[in-house]
Amino acid sequence: MSITKEKRQKLILLVEDNSTTAFIETALLEKNGFKVICANTGEAAVEFVLRSPDINLVLMDINLGDGMDGIDAAKIILKTRDIPLIFLSSHTETEIIEKTEGITSYGYVVKNFVDALLIASIKMAFRLFDAHMKEKEYQAFRSRIFENSTLPIVVMETEKYRFIDCNPAAATAYGYSSVEETLGKTPFDVSAPVQYDKEPSSDKAVKFIKSAMAEGCTVFEWLHKRPDGTMWDAEVHLTHFRSEEKDYLQFTLIDITSRKRIEEELKKKINPYFNETSHIKKSLLLI
């Protein structure tokens, strides 16, 4: 049997109080390309994990004689490290198996197993752990982008249009003191009564939401209102996405209040000119 480089790099902690069983299981694991270190008590297993960061997986017997049993040792280990852990036991009682399921999701192998079953369980545990770590890294990356962004970002469910997540920048932009105070609000709670074209915000918002749901995304300008009555303008980038078979909307806000105010001032300056020109034209026509 060929041994891959990946297997040679995997170090397994085998926790087994029976020396004969430990010898047999160690031989099986080494035959399949794994490195093995052994502990014969729960206390020793915890100590190994605490001082050996190279351990990639724990095979934990439940009955370990006097002292700490495998279940208690597993609880301590998993509080200390995020590591795949498989229980090995001669117990087949439902209550014992269910108890271990609440501790680890990587497996439970009954002793007197077929060799291939243990190896397959270990391989599956490594695959599950790799997927778990990738998801964890993604969530950490997303959290850094989301939480630290200076742009307000909001996630909204599409049934009642409630905010289910937002970053601190969004809470500040909306005029609330915290993220918690912002969650549960809807676009109607943070909008001016009417928009630039005098259409009610409640009607116009639904149109943009339907557009994003149909097209995937849409960009528009929106007049907001804070709890203290302050009006502010934003360019809204509204995006539709699905997660776990549910629809959501995420929008990013770019504050354009200063730009809008400048535009309003320019209109006030330009309009009198146009009005005067129009008046002159009308006078010439009368002549």
**How many beta carbons lie within 10 A of that of residue 225, not counting itself?**
17
Q: Are 187 and 157 in contact (CB under 8 A)?
A: no
Determine the Cα–Cα distance for residues 12 and 79; give it in Å rounded to an integer: 18
In this structure, the answer to whether residues 9 and 139 fall within a common structural domain is yes
Pairing of strands 85-89, 108-110: parallel
**What CATH number does the domain containing 22 carry?**
3.40.50.2300
Same domain, 100 and 67: yes
The whole-number pLDDT of residue 93 equals 67
Claim to verify: residue 175 and residue 131 sit in the same structural domain: no
136 and 220 together in one domain: no
Same domain? For 177 and 137 the reply is no
Give the CA count within 13 Å in the CB-facing half-sphere of 83.
Answer: 27
The whole-angstrom separation of Cα 96 and Cα 125 is 20
For residue 249, what is the enclosing H or E element? strand 246-255
Q: What is the pLDDT of residue 78?
A: 92
User: pLDDT value at position 272?
Assistant: 59
The last residue of a domain, from among 121, 143, 165: 143
- In the chain, the amino acid numbered 266 is L
Instruction: Give the domain CATH number at 217.
Output: 3.30.450.20
Q: DSSP 3-state assignment of 204?
A: helix
- Residue 89 inside a domain? The answer is yes
- Any domain includes 272: no
pLDDT of 100: 76
pLDDT value for 283: 47
> Do both 31 and 117 map to the same domain?
yes
Q: Which amino acid is located at 249 in the chain?
A: L
Q: pLDDT for 47-98, tens place per residue?
A: 999 999 999 999 999 989 888 999 999 999 999 999 999 998 877 667 777 7
Residues 34 and 154 in one domain: no
For the chain, percent of residues with pLDDT exceeding 90: 63
What 3-state class would DSSP assign to 146?
helix
The boundaries of the domain holding residue 242 are: 149-255
Residue 236 in domain: yes
- pLDDT tens per residue across all 287 residues of the chain: 444 444 457 999 999 999 999 999 999 999 999 999 999 999 999 999 999 999 999 999 998 988 899 999 999 999 999 999 999 887 766 777 777 777 877 888 888 777 888 899 999 999 999 888 888 887 787 778 788 899 999 999 999 999 999 999 999 999 999 999 999 999 999 999 999 999 999 999 999 999 999 999 999 999 999 999 999 999 999 999 998 889 999 999 999 999 999 988 888 877 655 455 454 444 444 45
Cα(13)–Cα(18) distance, integer angstroms: 15
Give CA–CA dist 234/232, Å, rounded.
Answer: 7
How many other β-carbons are positioned within 10 Å of the β-carbon of residue 146? 18
Is the domain of 138 the same as that of 40? yes
Angle at 143 between CA 232 and CA 247, to 5 degrees: 70
Q: What are the Cα distances from residue 218, in Å, to 166, 189, 211? A: 19, 21, 7
171 domain residue, yes or no: yes
How many structural domains comprise the chain? 2
pTM: 0.55
At 205 the pLDDT is 95
